[in-house]
Amino acid sequence: DTAVSQTPKYLVTQMGNDKSIKCEQNLGHDTMYWYKQDSKKFLKIMFSYNNKELIINETVPNRFSPKSPDKAHLNLHINSLELGDSAVYFCASSHRGTSKNTGELFFGEGSRLTVL
Amino acid sequence: RKEVEQDPGPFNVPEGATVAFNCTYSNSASQSFFWYRQDCRKEPKLLMSVYSSGNEDGRFTAQLNRASQYISLLIRDSKLSDSATYLCVVRGFQKLVFGTGTRLLVSP
């Protein structure tokens, strides 16, 4: 069984369109994240939710809107797509801070978005 | 200055070689440190945590130097399957910050 699953894996769309990526985890974790990995392979956090509550919102255009209907799901909706949004978007989950050394994020396989 | 900096490589080594990667971080208050591995077109996965006293896991040894804000990863007896990108990761406030990664290519 896939621990963190995200769909779709590939998304090709035109500039200006709106698209969504869905993420689900079956690990019982209380925290979920969206990371963006650009063409230079830099992996940068976008959002983090803990028990459906937004706890991290990095400097991300407000065209990006996360939604967490429950602690097992974190979806990402993107409005008015731009060329620069092309990247791989990774969903991840973890237990929040049971130990200061806890660092294991479990990532989904990524959603490769190409904006034409 | 980036929060976490790594040499992007690639490091090209023959099988059996020993290779070391370094990483520096800017936030002196950082408490937790990790190495992740990312294979081509795959998701990152935790390789090992880095403890203050240094730690070893099989062929992999991680070291932390808090005074210099420096983390290292040593891989002994490299295997072809070690070819991947190695990401240095530092726990910041409520989040993990990833370095851009060092690419390792192990050849026969």
Q: pLDDT tens for residues B14-58?
A: 999 999 999 999 998 888 899 999 999 999 999 999 988 889 999
Residue A97's pLDDT band (cuts 50, 70, 90): low
Q: Distance (Å) from the C-alpha of residue A74 to the closest C-alpha of chain B?
A: 17
* Chain A interface, Cβ < 8 Å to B: 33, 35, 40-45, 48, 55-56, 90, 100-105, 107-110
Mean pLDDT of chain B: 93
Of A99-108, B42-51, B87-96, the range with the highest mean pLDDT is B42-51
C-alpha A56/C-alpha B79 separation (Å) is 38
Reported as type and span, the H/E element at residue A31 is strand A31-37
pLDDT > 70 in chain B, percent: 100
Q: What six digits make up the tokens of B22? A: 């370094």
Are A100 and B51 a contacting pair at CB < 8 A? no
Q: pLDDT tens for residues A5-58?
A: 999 999 999 999 999 999 999 999 989 999 999 988 889 999 999 888 888 888
Nearest to A115 by CA among A2, A17, A6: A17
Are B94 and A43 a contacting pair at CB < 8 A? no
| Residue numbers in A near B55 (CB within 8 A) | none
Q: Does the N-terminal peptide bond of residue B10 adopt cis geometry, omega within 30 degrees of 0?
A: yes
Are A110 and B101 a contacting pair at CB < 8 A? no
Residue B92 has pLDDT above 80, yes or no: no
In this predicted structure, what is the pLDDT of residue A100?
44
